[in-house]
Structure 1
Amino acid sequence: MFYRLHVMDIQDSGSRVALVTGGMGGIGKGIALALAARGFGVVVADRRIDPARADGLRTAFPASARVAFVEGDLADLDDHPRFVNAAFDAFGRLDVLVNNAGVSVLSRGDLLDVSPDSYDLNFSVNTRGTFFLTQAVSRRMLEVEPAGVESARSIIFVSSSNAAIAAPERGEYAMSKAAIAMTSKLYALRLAAHGIAVYEVRPGLISTPMTQVAQERFDNLLAGGFTPINRWGMPEDVGRAVATLAAGDLPFTTGTAIQVDGGMHIHHY
């Protein structure tokens, strides 16, 4: 399904275009809005695009924003060619891929009780699907002559603080995100010579529907001073970090991980 909402003249605008997976809500929505605020055309992708919900989301964008919506299931590798073509065709180009879509565990609990279904779900979407979507988009990007400007094009992986901080109660999720951290480095090495920068963004405790299941637990931890910047992060915090990277505001960098976690990653006592 390809559902275009608001498109200005895409031939002479000159602005770059970003694809955001999992862009209909949570962190993905925060990223899409931040990119639009920086002048990017935004292709919002999600497993299912409900037209009524998409119309509602459009009102959050600036009136002049160029936004298109494309359905795509990361876990369905056979559908990737159609999905990638739709993303590129939305505005005739694609300069930035933001790998944000992901799933969490089927149920939190003892590591000894992790089910194969939950393990396979996390790796099929968070790792396998993301890897092969990046592969397909990278191939298409390499068909276009490089612009000759560092960081004019980029691929950004949204992982998690759990890529480095162990979380036994959702071990399969943490492992899938640790794999994404390495995926980012590998693609950074492969694509640097072509002027495509690759980054990893590690959100920490971000207030989204996905984290609501553990809200009470983390509210209690924050009450005791859980992180140096002691509050819940918001999707717009992650969005601004991603937009900074996508805009090329950190030249001469690739393969690095940006921690958007209120300092949670700092080892201290």
Structure 2
Amino acid sequence: MHNLVEVSPTDRKAGINTRGVALVTGGRRGIGRAVCLELAGRGFDIGFVDLAHDDKVDETLSLVAATGQRVAFFPLDISRTDQHSAVVERVTRDLGAISCLVNNAGIQVSIRGDLLDTTEAEFDRLVGVNLRGTFFLTREVARAMIAEARPEMVRSIITITSANAHLVSPEKGAYCVSKAGLSMAMQTFAVRLADEGIRVHEIRPGLIETDMTADVYERYSPSIESGAICPLKSWGQPSDIAGAIGTLATGGIPYSTGDIYNIGGGMHIPRL
């Protein structure tokens, strides 16, 4: 089951041309919700997936519908690769051709601790969602994009990895491994899909103020505010990531594929 919020053409914001459908994973809150709103504001109809329907899903549906674009929610655990094909088919049937995939869904370690205490179950859980699930959903959407060529549309696959795709945090080692692997996966997709006219981009956020970082907010805030971590001396916001994705999804940086965009207030700069 899913929820489709229809908006008649006369209710759409004047001057916004529909750019196709953006499929956003993990769209019920945080960065995912900000991405849904940003892309809707740029003329995309929005399909988003998350684990289950709850009040946060309803909030996202309502907020996106208010932009004048169509929006639908599709329950999906992206680690369930056997469900990917059916969801992509439903999105295409109910909303139209997918022109943009935003891989945002991801999970963090259950408990930050000694790398040497990492269990196989924890490693498999993180890789299953962050790497394996995202890889195969990307494959499924890429196949759908190729099957329904739309040369009039900018088509893109944009994946949110992490600063930990490069920066080492031993207390969450399995997470780092999953994100580093995902970074390489996106570069391989970029090479494979270049001739198909599909651009692939990677966003590496720094410290963004969301529910996922709530448990380290007090720990990192003094270092952020002093400039020891981020030269800009502030936490990033979901809208900072969403704005970058909006630029890429609308072709604002056309001579780019497989490139990595660090959005972290300078956190990614190596310093002595």
Query: 2: distance between equivalents of 1:128 and 1:216?
Result: 32
Cα deviation 1:151-208 (Å, max 9, x = unaligned): x100011100100101111010011000111011000000000100000001110001
Counterpart residue number, 1:250: 253
Aligned-partner residue type, residue 132 of structure 1: F
> What one-letter code is carried by the residue in structure 2 that aligns with 1:231?
S
User: Quick one: distance in 2 between partners of 1:173 and 1:205?
Assistant: 15
Once residues 187 and 8 of structure 1 are traced to their aligned partners in structure 2, the CA distance between those partners, rounded to angstroms, is 36
Residues 88, 94 of structure 1: 8 Å contact kept: yes
Query: In the alignment, which of 11, 14, 32 is matched to residue 28 of structure 1?
Result: 32
Matched residues in 2 for 1:34 and 1:148: separation?
21
- Checking the alignment, whether the CA contact within 8 Å between 2:20 and 2:96 is kept in structure 1 is no
CA distance in 2, matches of 1:146, 1:57: 28
Q: Where do residues 54-203 of structure 1 align in structure 2 (5 Å cutoff)?
A: 54-61=57-64, 62-147=66-151, 152-203=154-205
Counterpart-to-counterpart distance in 2, 1:82 and 1:218: 41
Is 1:205 the counterpart of 2:171? The answer is no
Cα RMSD between the aligned structures?
1.6
TM-score by length of 1: 0.93
Q: Which shows bigger deviation, 217-226 or 68-77? A: 217-226
Deviates more, 1:81-90 or 1:107-116: 81-90
Can you give the 5+ residue segments of structure 1 that lack an aligned partner in the other structure? none
Q: Which has the higher contact order (CA 8 A, sep 6+)?
A: 1
Structure 2: state its 5+ residue gaps. Answer: 10-16
**Is the Cα contact below 8 Å between 2:157 and 2:200 reproduced in 1?**
yes
Q: Which runs of 4+ in 1 moved over 4 A?
A: none
State the partner residue of 1:233: 236
Q: Which moved more, 1:162-171 or 1:84-93?
A: 84-93
Match of 1:268 among 260, 268, 271: 271
Say if 1:74 and 1:133, in contact at 8 Å, map to a contact too: yes
Secondary structure of 2:266 counterpart: coil
Deviates more, 1:66-75 or 1:219-228: 219-228
Instruction: Please list the CA deviations of residues 81-107 of structure 1 after superposition, one character each: whole Å capped at 9, or x if unmatched.
Output: 211112222312110000110000011
Using the TM superposition, give the Cα deviation of residue 67 of structure 1 relative to its aligned residue in structure 2, in angstroms: 1.2
Give the AA of the match of 1:84.
V
**Identity, % of aligned pairs?**
41
SS at match of 1:96: strand
Q: More deviation in 189-198 or 13-22?
A: 13-22
